Amino acid sequence: MRIIGSDEQTLESIDAAPWKKMVHDVLTTVKIGIVNSNLMTTFTGLWLALFFNEENIGTLAGSVIFVLMGTALVIAGGCSLNNFIDRDIDPLMERTHERPSATGKMSGRTVLIMGLSLSVLGLLALLAASVTAAIYGLLGLLVYVLVYTLWLKRSHSMNTVVGSVAGAVPPIIGWAAVDPSLQSPIPWILFLVLFLWQPPHFLALAMKRVEEYRRAGIPMLPVVAGFEITKRQMIFYVAVLVPTSLLLYALGPVYLVSALILGFTWLGLAIYGLMAKDTVKWARLMFVYSLNYMTVLFLIMIVSTFF
């Protein structure tokens, strides 16, 4: 009986293996980590809209579900289209060479169809939340896929800055599900915070992977201008980000103190880069801190509404 049981378990694992691989390939293609992080910023925009407009999440349950689902699908679709476009250069980089679109586990046609389908479904879901949410979802998608991936990523070092527009749109989409007028300055401040956060975050990644980007022919700033200029630009963005984050003073003292501590710590780390002997190690620290900064700051925005 034990032998039979063992064989059955083996057969079950063999049958399950292809499904697990397929799910893994799909999640890798849609860049589930990016989807999750953008959902957090979308929800923050949504939550703050509920708070400042004195709305109840229960009365807007439909809009909440549609805007979160739509945002996730649009981002997943955009990331899939990004993989489709970049399948020729992804094999040249260690960070991306195992993507299913780069290895051939998923054909270009499959990735393209998946990207287009997810994008359309996502935009329809956003349209169910509000027309404004759908418009900004489409804007973010077009900037990411056409302007950033298809054009600037391979042609100009400003790719990181322009691409930041797409990454900064999710809080506006979330807010628009509650308040389509977008007359409040809050969603635009959230946009600015995320816009300013992205260049130092991605430039730190580019410094870590500079040789890979050079090999792939991608003109990231560290590749075309060197580390010193890149460091100064990172300091500039963080220095502007700190006071910008304080514009959300209406969230109260808990948020303000947290934003000051998080911001000046990051600024200090950025300035330290001018003296750091091991630039790559410093870039790793900047990259990790940037992720923690964004996650903690947006969580504190939500938590602050309870005080």
Please tell me whether residues 192 and 176 are part of one structural domain.
no
Please tell me whether residues 189 and 113 are part of one structural domain.
no
Output the pLDDT for position 18: 79
Exposed / middle / buried, residue 61 (Cβ in 10 Å: 0-12, 13-18, 19+): exposed
Measured distance between the N- and C-terminal CA atoms of the chain, rounded to whole angstroms: 61
Residue 170 has pLDDT above 60, yes or no: yes
pLDDT tens figures, 249-282: 999 999 999 999 999 999 999 999 999 999 999 9
| Two structure tokens written together for 105 | 């586990």
| Two structure tokens written together for 88 | 């020729």
Output the pLDDT for position 186: 98
| Two structure tokens written together for 145 | 């896929």
| Calpha distance 276→231 (Å, rounded) | 11
Structurally, the chain folds into a number of domains equal to 2
Q: How confident is the model at residue 16 (pLDDT cuts 50, 70, 90)?
A: low
The DSSP code for 278 is -
Q: Which domain CATH number covers 6?
A: 1.10.357.140
The residue among 183, 205, 239 that closes a domain is: 183
C-beta neighbour count of 268 within 10 angstroms: 10
Say if residues 82 and 145 touch (Cβ distance below 8 Å).
yes
| Calpha distance 129→65 (Å, rounded) | 8
Say if residues 30 and 118 touch (Cβ distance below 8 Å).
yes
The number of helix segments (H) and strand segments (E) in the chain equals 14, 0
> In terms of residue numbers, what domain contains 124?
1-183
3-state secondary structure of 93: coil
Please tell me whether residues 174 and 245 are part of one structural domain.
no
* Mean pLDDT score of the chain: 94
Q: How confident is the model at residue 1 (pLDDT cuts 50, 70, 90)?
A: very low
| Secondary element (H or E) of residue 181 | none
Please tell me whether residues 179 and 189 are part of one structural domain.
no
Please tell me whether residues 39 and 176 are part of one structural domain.
yes
Please tell me whether residues 175 and 298 are part of one structural domain.
no
Planar angle of CA 244, 284, 225, nearest 5 degrees:
75
C-beta neighbour count of 43 within 10 angstroms: 19
Residue in this structure with the two tokens 């046609």, named with its chain if needed:
109
Residue 48 has pLDDT above 60, yes or no: yes
pLDDT tens figures, 49-72: 999 999 999 889 999 999 999 999
Residue in this structure with the two tokens 């201008």, named with its chain if needed:
225
Output the pLDDT for position 4: 41
